[in-house]
């Protein structure tokens, strides 16, 4: 009853944050739930996973949150902040958070890198390198890279 391993699945931070491509199958969602994922953050502006029809029956503990970002673009700082709030909820509830976009690379990698900057004190370049090591091909555009650097500057200024 573990479900099917989702396409492009990997842990960014074990038992805390994982990333994947768009979960097309119910068994992908089952896999997430069986691995203590309580929040599924969809970064696709195009569409979200269809869990409405069966979430109360099979996945009552999986909350879907949509932060719509157009493909090959970067999130806004406001969208990153929303994601970070979800991560805090996950920690409080001792549940992991899963993020996805279409292929789990660009938008997903960008958001994951921002999380590493905030939570683990990495520089934007260190965070990008780490995400790309774990998920080759991640953070696909210069605009996405720039957003991670912008987030680092904003976050460090906030701490001062």
The residue annotated as part of the active site, out of 18, 34, 101, 114, is 101
Furthest CA-CA distance within the chain: 48
Q: Are the beta carbons of 93 and 85 closer than 8 angstroms?
A: no
Q: What are phi and psi of 59, to 5 degrees?
A: -125, 60
Give the separation between CA 92 and CA 70, rounded to whole angstroms.
30
H helical segments located in 10-141: 26-34, 77-92, 106-120, 124-134
Q: Indicate the angle between helix axes 142-159 and 77-92, nearest 10 degrees.
A: 70
Q: Are the beta carbons of 63 and 41 closer than 8 angstroms?
A: no
Whether 18 sits among the annotated catalytic residues: the reply is no
> Any idea which residues carry the catalytic annotation?
101
């Amino acid at each position: 009853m573990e479900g099917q391993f989702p396409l492009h699945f990997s842990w960014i931070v074990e038992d805390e944050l994982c990333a994947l491509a768009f979960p097309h199958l119910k068994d992908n969602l089952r896999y997430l739930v069986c691995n203590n994922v309580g929040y599924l953050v969809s970064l696709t502006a195009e569409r979200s996973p269809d869990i409405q029809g069966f979430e109360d029956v099979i996945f009552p503990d999986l909350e879907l949150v949509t932060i719509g970002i157009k493909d090959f673009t970067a999130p806004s700082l406001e969208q990153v902040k929303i994601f970070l709030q979800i991560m805090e909820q996950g920690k409080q509830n001792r549940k992991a958070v899963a993020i996805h976009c279409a292929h789990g690379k660009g938008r997903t990698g960008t958001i994951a890198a921002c999380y590493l900057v905030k939570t683990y004190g990495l520089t934007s370049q260190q965070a990008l390198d780490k995400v790309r090591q774990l998920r080759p091909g991640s953070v696909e555009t210069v605009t996405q890279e720039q957003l991670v650097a912008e987030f680092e500057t904003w976050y460090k200024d906030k701490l001062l």
